[in-house]
Chains A and B, each alone.
Chain A
Amino acid sequence: MKDDRKLRILIGKPGLDGHDRGVKVVARALRDAGMEVIYTGLHQTPEMIVSAAVQEDVDGVGLSILSGAHNHLFSEVIRLLKEEGADDITVFGGGIIPDDDIMKLKEMGVGAIFTPGDDTDKIVEWIRGNVRPRG
């Protein structure tokens, strides 16, 4: 029956930029779509995000980054999740991220990157198709 459990998604804002319009819109849309959303607030370090993800026992982590520091911040979150033995948590994200970097991030293990113009239904659909409730 565990597939009936509501998906738990941590929405995080790592790094220093304060642009949280997109992240808040996404958080609301996921809630409206019936998911449980934990929003970290701004200015989180990768350590803070991973520790919240483990404590809250989430199924997916979505990161929003607009400052250009995405390569560093995504790789840190993925590394730390592995270190915690929690690399079955699906990581995805969005922001102002150039195409070349999107490919690199996917190779690194990021499930999907959404950019401005993508609608929230697409994000919800992707999460439903790709994030599995953890046992």
Chain B
Amino acid sequence: MAVNKKEDKEKGDPNVIAREKARWEEEVLNKFVQKNPERPERFTTVSDAEIDRLYGPWDLPDFDYLRDLGFPGEYPFTRGVYPTMYRGRLWTMRQFAGFSTAKETNERYKYLLSHGTTGLSVAFHMPTIMGICSSDTRSMGEVGKCGVAIDTLADMEDLFNGIPLDKVTTSMTTNAPASILLCMYIAVAEKQGISSSKIGGTIQNDILKEYIAQKSWIFPPRESMRIITDLLAFAKDKVPRWNTISISGYHIREAGSTAVQELAFTLADGIGYVNAALKAGLTVDEFAPRLSYFFNSHNDFFEEVAKFRAARRMWAKIMKERFNPKDPRSMMLRFHTQTAGCSLAAQQPMNNIIRTTIQALAAVMGGTQSLHTNSLDETLSLPTEEAVTIALRTQQIIADESGVTNTTDPLGGSYFVEALTNRMEEQAFDYINKIDEMGGIISAIENGFPQREIADAAYHYQRQLERGEKIMVGVNKYVMEEDSEIDTLVIDESVEREQKQRLNEVIKKRDNAKVKEELAKLKKAAEGTENVMPHILESVKAYATLQEMTGTLKEVFGEYKDPGYI
């Protein structure tokens, strides 16, 4: 017995492992590699992070299970935010949809709900996202193209017609006009006889990443933050089940960032919102549990899993160390994931199904709470019904057939995954420290720092693709001459006409004096310190148009213009 114990001890001894590793390298590895050279010179992730040949305990010299991982549902949440994860409840399968008119999108929602979608996710068309109406000249050619056209409350009523808002949760992808669209949703619920305290969902409302990456803004950064803190204060009483900001790395990655940059800039935005809300007089536990995150899932499976795990641990540390919350939910990073649109190719589009599957699997192995899988035709047009069904089925096959949902954080303890998680955390904290030194994320944005870092990474990746250092199957390797024969969705030009007509009807029917009165109150609130949200809600209920409301706020807050960093 004594001998066995000694052997056991020796087996785990780092010196013994180091000695054995040196022996293996000399006797086995080197001889082998001489005869069988490795393929490229460098092995790197999608983000160009160098990857070693083999990972082992030597990569985790200070590993402390209880400190670094702990148990799921407990600080630092590395292994998941809930104790049982998918054994208790699967992630929400949320397919982003919206096109053409509200009536047509309403039919797509009913179709998706009847096929097992469990949460709705609204894509708004560009004019709505920019806070302008379908009738404005700048909207010409854009109406209903990239999402659904919403000009007034009447459109929102059509969008959710026959969908009981206490039975579904809805995610709305809108930022600059988020406060207005949330008020429209509340108004629709009230018309359905449902109290706003019963409705649940998420509004993206992440304006900071707009300046960094997605570039759909109305007001300058500091003024936008005022509207957001008003929304946070309003929502805690009025819509307590609502996730008030979905802090989004998705678009940062789509704009060309690396995985580490996505992690760093997104969490830095999170810190920015917490600071702003505290400054506006809220206490941390009043709003932090309703913050959620939204990440991208790219092709590099392990880099993505590590990113999600690092994100959870970093946010828990950031919240605990900087803001000292009492409620553990304030430290919990819950997140939605979308597979990487930027990874898909127009060439051989069927391959996109496979890319999406790998990315979705990474999101699930990383512990996502909600997932959108992209459709195979999205590099060509908005998804057709068939393509979106395959995308949804991809999630269902992972959930019900693959077995990866049977245990919590199945990759936890992998030498590679833990080492990569640690390294990404360290590199992301380096960025966050740099941003702190610049005076926080808003100053960093005003200096163009994240914008330039991302543009550099995007250009670097593009050059790597063009030199063949990064492979895209069907694009720069295994290329085929082909005619694209898949069906695509075409939005008819008549949509624009119909939508303008709809808007005119609403304007004709409403009480214009009432609209004027509510907008005047809104302006007064914006000029002072009164919360703007109740006045937005009243303006919405009077059927003020989106553009009338954003126009009123622009008079006070001004407009933001693209500095055009290259």
Residue positions of A touching B, CB distance < 8 A: 15-21, 24-25, 27-29, 31, 37, 39-43, 45, 67-73, 96, 98-99, 115-117, 119-121
Contact = CB atoms under 8 A, between A and B. Distances in A.
Given A18-B210, A28-B459, A68-B145, A117 B472 contact: yes
Given A16-B130, A117-B346, A27 B566 contact: yes
Interface of B: 126-127, 129-130, 132, 137-142, 145-146, 210, 214-216, 254-256, 342, 345-347, 379-382, 455, 458-459, 462, 465-466, 472, 475-476, 484, 488, 490-491, 561-566
Contact of A24 (B130, B214, B458, B491): B458
Q: Which of A19, A31, A119 has the most CB of B within 10 A?
A: A19
Contacts of B216: 16-18
Contacts of A70: 141
Contacts of B255: 19-21
B560 to A, nearest CB: 10
A55 B201 CA distance: 49
A15 B564 CA distance: 15
Q: Which of B210, B254, B380 has the most CB of A within 10 A?
A: B380
Contacts of B455: 24, 28
Give the top 7 A-B pairs by smallest Cβ distance, nearest first: A72-B141, A18-B215, A41-B564, A68-B145, A69-B141, A41-B562, A16-B126
Given A21-B342, A24-B455, A98-B488, A117 B347 contact: yes
Nearest to B139: A16
A14 to B, nearest CB: 9
B215 A121 contact: no
Contacts of B476: 119
A71 B145 CA distance: 12
A29 B458 CA distance: 12
Contacts, number: 109
Contacts of A96: 379-381
B29 to A, nearest CB: 37
Contacts of A121: 466
6 contacts: A24-B565, A24-B566, A28-B459, A68-B491, A116-B379, A119-B466
B475 A16 contact: no
Contacts of A72: 140-142
Contact of A40 (B146, B214, B564): B564
B2 to A, nearest CB: 65
A44 to B, nearest CB: 9
Contacts of B466: 119-121
A120 B462 contact: yes
Q: Which of B129, B132, B138, B215 has the most CB of A within 10 A?
A: B215
Contact of A21 (B127, B382, B458, B475): B458
Given A16-B142, A28-B566, A119-B465, 15 more contacts: A16-B126, A19-B254, A21-B255, A25-B256, A28-B455, A39-B564, A40-B564, A43-B130, A68-B491, A69-B142, A72-B141, A96-B381, A116-B379, A117-B345, A117-B475
A18 B142 CA distance: 13
Contact of A16 (B127, B458, B462): B127
Contacts of A119: 462, 465-466, 476
Q: Which of A70, A98, A121 has the most CB of B within 10 A?
A: A98
A98 B140 contact: no
A13 to B, nearest CB: 8
Contacts of B475: 117
Contacts of A45: 137-138
B292 to A, nearest CB: 22
A18 B210 CA distance: 9
